[in-house]
Each structure stands twice: as structure tokens, then as C-alpha cells.
Chains A and B, each alone.
Chain A
Amino acid sequence: MTKSTTRLPGPQPAPLDALQAVVDAGLAMLMSGAEVSRVEDTMVRLARAYRIEPVDVVAIPTALFVAGPDGRSLVKRIRHRSVNLAVVAEINQLSRNVAKNPIPLDEFREQLERAKHHAVYAPWLTILFAAGAAGLISQLMGGHLVDFLPAAFSGGLTQLTRRALSLTRIPSNLSDLLSAVVATLPALAVARFSIFQPGSILVGGIMVLTPGLLFTSAIRDGITGDLVSAASRLLEALLVGGAVAAGASLPLYFYLHMGGRWP
């Protein structure tokens, strides 16, 4: 009996190895905030490229279940979630390339590892971008040109705090709350001068913490019918929003209590 030939170049990998690599790709996408249907599609596409069929994938924001051929299955628990559109785009591209032209598994793993840590811009640059984003959005939120600098300062400070806290073991909701506390400080510092609009400055700073991807993914999951994911992402977005609002009101409360000026 001859074994069936395969179109894959190089030696045929053990199926579980390939399945593991596919799961790794899906896991990285899910942890970066991709929609569930995209994760499932990407994994099925990759599995087909590596001749793992039939395969069935169930993804929810906190877990990933994969049933491979001959009863093998993998279950992964997801504890850490973050926002990184670059990783989503990169693995999406990788899966398209692999589907068109299957590369050896080792090479795929290497590229996947690179894609997982893909960051287009350096960490210190994101602080600068956050500053620019906060300054600009304060202009859309009723701010005048003088509010640009304090808002930019607030945005940069917020991003710096969030990045610093993400390196510690502090839970992400608490770190959002603390970042929002920091975001209010520049607005409070300039509130006594009547030429500034402290409201616009404050909103500019905390907009950096907006859970925009969570919200968008929740809606898109809802349309495709991934209801568990849609509901849990909406809840997560609400929790983040609540933490940010709570963090921002705390210093403001003390400030108003001490009789500070606030328009």
C-alpha cells in the first residue's frame, strides 16, 4: 500500500504539530481583539492549507476550542486580552499567503512568531501619537486652540501610565481606572484659568482609553450571529467605560469638594 502523496514541500509534519500551530495563530488573533468569525475563518483556512480536515473551531473571547481529525481536540483558555490591530492584520495576511502557497510548518511558525509581536510603531512613539490624538479630539469636543497643548499633555501622560501599568500585574480594569485618574490631572491643573475649557481637555485625555475595538468587534460579532462573543464584548466595553468614568470622577469629586473652579 502506498501512502498518498502530499503537495506540501518538505517532510510531512505530525498532524498535532500543525494543529497546534493553527491554534497558536487563532489564539494570537483572538487575544488581539479580532472578531470571532474572522478567527474561526482564519483557522479553518490555515487548517485546510495544512491538510487538517475536517476541523471545527469554536471561539469565544475567553476560550478557544478546536476539534481536529481523529478525535484530537485542543482547548485553550484566554486570560489576557489586548488591542493590537497590527497583529490581526498581519496574521490575516499570513493566512491568505499560506492558503495560496503552503510554506513548510517551521517557516510558518517563524513567521507567526514574528507576526505575534508585530508592532508597526515603537512604544515611545505611541505616547506621542496618543498626545496628538488627545489634542485633536479635544478640538472636536468643543475645545479651542489653547486647549490643544493641555489635552495633548493629558493624552501622552495617560498612554504612558497605561503602558507602565500593563507591565505590572495590576488587573486591566484597575489600570484603566488609574490611567483615567492621571488623565484628569492636567485639566484640573489649568481649570482655574478661564481661557481653557477643562471639559474638552479632560475628554481629550480619556478618549485615549476608549474601548473602540471592543465596541466595534461586539457589533460585528452580533451581526454574524456570534451572540456569546457579542454579549461578552459589550459587557467588557461597558466595564472599561465604567472604570474610566469612575477613575475620572474621583479626582474631580475631590476638586469640586474643595471648592475648585469648574465651568
Chain B
Amino acid sequence: MIREAVFAALTTIAFGLLYQVRTSILWIAGGIGALAWMASFTVNLMPGAGLLGDFVGAFVVGALAEVAALWKKQPVTIFVVPAIISYVPGYLVYESMVAFLKNHFNQGMHFGMTAVFSAASLSLGLALATALLRPLLRPHHILNTDS
């Protein structure tokens, strides 16, 4: 778990560098990536967790990013985008692709639909985090009139 969390933090930092995020705030993004990965890892230990791990990970990313954005006075996306990359179901899409290429249609559909649902749970996690935390953190702003 620690090894994976360290890799998640390093991945977040590397993607942050790739997306031109300033070094001085990058370590926060890395921390968010590691914490979110630990949370989703813990959830995934539960039997039958399914895609709940992705949802929890995305929720933690979204929630911590809102806090960090308010603290550092930066756009929220700066923290969200590098940290969410580790959850992108790239491997599922790849497996579905290979299954289709090998003429295993059912398997391809299975992996493909799982990838779609995984992406949906990611967006649900991010959306809920923003929708819940924004009014709490910035009570003087209406949802769309802040930085």
C-alpha cells in the first residue's frame, strides 16, 4: 500500500510537471494523489467493492483539491487534473481493445462497459465533492461567481 501510494504521488507530480504546474504547489497535488490512493486502496480491501474505490478516490481528490485551491488561491483544476490521472481506466480500455482485436467480443464489451462505468464513478465522485464542499468552503459566493 505504501509503495503504491508513493507511486501515486510521484505519478501525480510527473503529470503535474507535464501540465506545466508550478513546482511550489506541486507537492500539494502529490500529497492529494497519495492520500486519495490510500483511501481507494482501503475501500478496495472490502469484498465486493467494485467501482466504489474509484468513486472514493475521486471524491477525496475533489474534496482535498477544493480545500487546497482555497488555501493557495489557485484554480481547482491545477490540483484535480494531475491527481485524477491515476484513476483513469486506461488499463480497462486497453484490455477491451485487445479483446476486440482477438475477436473475443463478449470480453471486449465487458471490459469496455466496465471502463465506461469506472469513468462515470470518477465523474460522480468529483462532481459530488465540488457540489458539497463549495457552498461550505465559500459561503459568500454563489456557485459560479468566485475564482
Contact = CB atoms under 8 A, between A and B. Distances in A.
Interface of A: 34-35, 37-38, 40-41, 83-86, 88-89, 92-93, 96, 119-121, 125-126, 129-130, 132-133, 136-137, 139-142, 159, 199-200, 202-203, 206-208, 210, 212-213, 215-220, 222-226, 241, 245, 248-249, 252-253, 256, 262
Q: Which 6 pairs between the two chains have the least Cβ-Cβ distance?
A: A133-B14, A86-B20, A129-B17, A37-B144, A136-B11, A224-B144
Given A85-B77, A126-B18, A223 B127 contact: yes
B86 A140 contact: yes
Nearest to A152: B14
Given A136-B14, A203-B94, A222-B127, A213 B102 contact: no
Nearest to A139: B7
B91 A84 contact: no
A159 B86 CA distance: 18
17 contacts: A38-B75, A84-B20, A85-B20, A129-B17, A130-B18, A132-B10, A133-B17, A133-B85, A136-B10, A159-B18, A210-B88, A212-B88, A215-B119, A215-B123, A216-B77, A248-B97, A262-B98
A217 B76 CA distance: 10
B131 interface: yes
B102 A207 contact: no
A133 B11 contact: yes
Interface string B64-84: 000000000111111011101
B97 A92 contact: no
Given A41-B146, A85-B19, A121-B17, 6 more contacts: A140-B86, A141-B91, A207-B90, A212-B84, A245-B93, A249-B100
Interface residues of B, number: 48
B77 A34 contact: yes
B39 interface: no
B8 interface: yes
| Interface of chain A, main secondary structure | helix
Contacts of B84: 212, 215-216
Given A38-B147, A41-B147, A213-B77, A86 B97 contact: no
A85 B59 CA distance: 21
Contacts of A41: 144-147
Nearest to B65: A216
B128 to A, nearest CB: 9
Nearest to A250: B101
B130 interface: yes
Given A212-B81, A223-B131, A206 B90 contact: yes
